[in-house]
Amino acid sequence: MIQTIDALALGAIELPPDQRFALAQRILASVEPEEILETDEAWTLEIRERMRRYDAGETQGIPAQEVFAELARHLNP
């Protein structure tokens, strides 16, 4: 039986927190793209290199508040 989103949400909210979390994970997993091993490996290498450069003082971090403000300016001109 197919229910409306509102009815499903009301039922899900009544679940214990651990079951709500498990349900949320299952729903998210159903819409996430399939993992591609080469992509994961490439991102791992990129992250390690960025961390190395940061630790070596070759780059500087940007405060999250600045990043989000810049993003907001681009998304809401």
Q: What is the pLDDT of residues 54-74, one digit of tens each?
A: 999 999 999 999 999 999 999
Render each residue's pLDDT in the chain as its tens digit; 77 residues.
567 888 889 999 999 999 999 999 999 989 988 778 888 899 999 999 999 999 999 999 999 999 999 999 999 87
Two structure tokens written together for 16: 């214990």
Hey, what amino acid is at 50?
Answer: R
- Give Rg (Cα) of the chain: 20
CB 23 within 8 A of CB 15: yes
